[in-house]
Structure 1
Amino acid sequence: MARAWHLMSRPQGMPTAENFALKDIAPELGDGMVRVKNSFVSVDPYMRGRMNDVKSYVPPFAIDAPMEGGAVGEVIESRAAGFAVGDKVMHMLGWRDEAVVPAAALNKLPELGVPIEDFLGNLGLTGGTAYFGLFDAASAKPGDVVFVSAAGGAVGSAVVQIAKARGMTVIGSAGGPEKCEFVKSLGADKVIDYKAGSLVKQLGEAAPNGIDVYFDNVGGDHLDAAFAHANKDARFAICGMIANYNKGEPTCFRFIMRIIAMRIRVQGFIYTDYAAQFPKFYEEMGGWIAAGKVKSRDTIVDGLEQQPEAFMGLFTGKNTGKMLVRL
């Protein structure tokens, strides 16, 4: 019997174990559908927003229904042309050990000689978010000074590496000495420990001539610091604001008036906006990975039973790099 995590109640602030329940499911395989045994499932900060009953770019999770998220696995049964038993695929029916997926909602994974979990990391939503956010939303170019928040996390660590691969100066922010050392090991030119004092002051010291690009995963004080030190015509790519996901009100914008004087461009974006460009992304990111210019470091939690705990760990800094659950 397959199992899936269900959202049983909407969190008020930080989610707790009581918001979730693991239940048996019995998905039927119809024509044009594929049964997949999931190998890895992803937990990502954006999932917190789907736990709220608010209008957004994706519908909220329904109460007492299986939750969704990125997953990779192997086809174990198929009633769809183009998919055979043994094919490796990616889809969005995570939070479960087995999924029945319409063929149109599956991506067959290309043979790139990398571990399957990389397609949830640097070759998937994580790396794609970094790639498209940096080069499209922020129009980053060689020579730019780039500030990256949550640089020790999944998306942030990818941003650090691909920015360096394109000849940029990178300043990363992370929490605590261990994560700061990790960000340095990725090639960041300077690293700020956001737990060690004022971000506005630290960023001013790290970037005395200001920043040209800000890649935002955090919001809050990080966004304030970026506004405070933005150069004229700076570009901000807004990927996420994890500092505010479990709070009712924003905790930033002290320096937002500089958006006028500095002509700052602030661009929100979603990974799926760029589906037409995925082949180009696979080619370039795959090349960087093969050349050793982009590396991954995953935090892996074993067992479907541990998925809510892994998810909640995203908000308390328990992950370095990508957080994955291995089934």
Structure 2
Amino acid sequence: MGGNQPWAAGAFELIMDESKAGHCLWITNRRGMEYWPSPSEEAKYLIRRFRRRSDFKAPSIKPPESFEKIVVHTLTHNFRNATSVVRTSLRLPIKPKHVLVKIIYAGVNASDVNFSSGHYFGGNNNDTASRLPFDAGFEAVGIIAAVGGSVTDLKIGMPCAFMTFGGYAEFIMIPSKHALPVPRPDPEVVAMLTSGLTASIAQEKSFRLYTEKAGQMESGKVVLVTAAAGGTGQFAVQLAKLAGNTVVATCGGGAKAKLLKELGVDRVIDYHSEDVKTVLREEFPKGIDIIYESVGGDMLNLCLNALAVHGRLIVIGMISQSDRRVYEAGLEIAYQGEKGWTPSKYPGLLEKLLAKSQTVSGFFLVQYGHLWQEHLDGLFNLYSTGKLKVAIDPKKFIGLHSAADAVEYLHSGKSVGKVVVSVDPSFLPQVAKL
């Protein structure tokens, strides 16, 4: 506080109005007492938590006696061979601290095949095999169909999202603390879950690139995103751009390149028509400051060589490191094999990092669960205000029996945007909104 007006008046104002916690009270002779930021300034620069849209009318949902779900019955990286659709009875009553969710859309992820091979449970193969069968799927959105007696903050008919095992199902019973309230059970919200949250939280925690706290926002860097037209890449390029950076993106194919240009990427490198290594060396001779990498293998090695002095690289996946390549009906299924992703060797890695004071880190979304709701709110705010676009791959996968097709399609390299399965197509149309 400044100026000549008594400090006591300002102190009394702060005590009386607790709603202003976190604001600055500024006092001058000319303007008297005023809070900063003012409402007009706050509207310009801050991203508010979303408010639920009132236009969604939840249908009446009667909990069924039984429902279908996908389970993993055999440990293999081949999702089709590992899984089957089974019918199971709904166990009633609903547990006191749980909710029953009617699933509308389920998200498809590269890690579905890693999960079906048992790599997410730790321990040895015998320990994992003892868990069989277990439910498949990581993420979904739907409508709360029933609530347990101890649940007070969630209501029947509320749209919600979740990220727990068992997303490939018609219904699921989950602890209420795992239900993330959302405005609508749309496919765009599915894209914001594993894919969007990975980009948002990883960039904030690892790069401090995009955050609502302006004091932590980093800009003016050259950012490279690999596999940028996929589920998480589309978010990574936009968030990096919103933070004021020059964004470079790699992809394979004209449709993907077109999408990335529409998303505002400064330099799109289509590796079907250009050599990524040559472009980076000639157009960015000082190197890349920040790299968001999800391909692995040769691409990761190329990125390490392109990293600038003090550069930072984060690994969020390694979709190219498959055990072997299989072709079915002309379609390359790059993930099929019994061992899953094959570790790669990077000779001279430590020497490279030391010579340029570089940093390489990994990011695993499940270890940041305490940030999910906050970042999901932020992503939906950006989307609803037109600052963020969400691309849903136009290829339709209807019903749980199409999930294996969807997983294979994702790994074929042909998808553009987020791949989703419409578990119950009778609710909302699956449309890419750009």
Q: Give the secondary structure class of the aligned counterpart of 2:239.
A: helix
Question: Structure 1 79/280 Cα, relative in aligned 2: closer, same or farther at 3 Å?
Answer: closer
Once residues 255 and 180 of structure 1 are traced to their aligned partners in structure 2, the CA distance between those partners, rounded to angstroms, is 33
Q: Cα offset for 1:231?
A: 0.8
> Is 270-279 or 218-227 further displaced after alignment?
270-279
Question: Structure 1 102/271 Cα, relative in aligned 2: closer, same or farther at 3 Å?
Answer: same
Q: Give the secondary structure class of the aligned counterpart of 1:240.
A: coil
Q: Is the 8 A contact 2:228 2:234 kept in 1?
A: yes
Correspondence for 2:413: 317
Question: Structure 1 57/298 Cα, relative in aligned 2: closer, same or farther at 3 Å?
Answer: farther
**Of 51, 75, 88, which residue of structure 2 is paired with 1:25?**
88
Correspondence for 1:69: 138
Q: Cα offset for 1:135?
A: 2.2
Correspondence for 1:293: 387
Correspondence for 2:368: 274
For these two proteins, the number of residue pairs brought into alignment is 321
Residue 86 (str. 1) matches residue 157 (str. 2): yes
Q: Cα offset for 1:272?
A: 3.3
The amino acid that maps onto 2:240 is: A
Correspondence for 2:359: 265
Residue 240 (str. 1) matches residue 317 (str. 2): yes
CA offsets, 1:79-128, max 9 Å, x none? 2422322111222231111112232332232x4xx653333213x22211
Residue 214 (str. 1) matches residue 285 (str. 2): no
Correspondence for 1:145: 222
Query: Which residues of structure 1 form unaligned runs of 5+?
Result: none
> Is 198-207 or 185-194 further displaced after alignment?
198-207
Correspondence for 1:305: 401
Question: Structure 1 201/255 Cα, relative in aligned 2: closer, same or farther at 3 Å?
Answer: farther
The amino acid that maps onto 1:63 is: L
**Of 117, 122, 125, which residue of structure 1 is paired with 2:194?**
125
Once residues 374 and 178 of structure 2 are traced to their aligned partners in structure 1, the CA distance between those partners, rounded to angstroms, is 20
Correspondence for 2:18: none
Q: Cα offset for 1:243?
A: 0.8
Q: Cα offset for 1:220?
A: 1.5
> Is 177-186 or 15-24 further displaced after alignment?
15-24
CA offsets, 1:150-197, max 9 Å, x none? 100010010111111110001101111221111111111111122335
Q: Is the 8 A contact 1:50 1:60 kept in 2?
A: no
The amino acid that maps onto 1:31 is: K
Query: Which residues of structure 2 form unaligned runs of 5+?
Result: 1-65, 210-217, 323-334, 424-434
CA offsets, 1:213-237, max 9 Å, x none? 0001111222112111111111111
Give me the CA root mean square deviation: 2.4
CA offsets, 1:234-289, max 9 Å, x none? 11111111111436533462563321111111111122333333454245323322
Q: Cα offset for 1:3?
A: 0.6
Give me the TM-score of the superposition, normalised by structure 1: 0.89
Question: Structure 1 87/280 Cα, relative in aligned 2: closer, same or farther at 3 Å?
Answer: closer
> Is 305-314 or 62-71 further displaced after alignment?
62-71
> Between Structure 1 and Structure 2, whose CA radius of gyration is higher?
2
Q: Give the secondary structure class of the aligned counterpart of 1:242.
A: coil
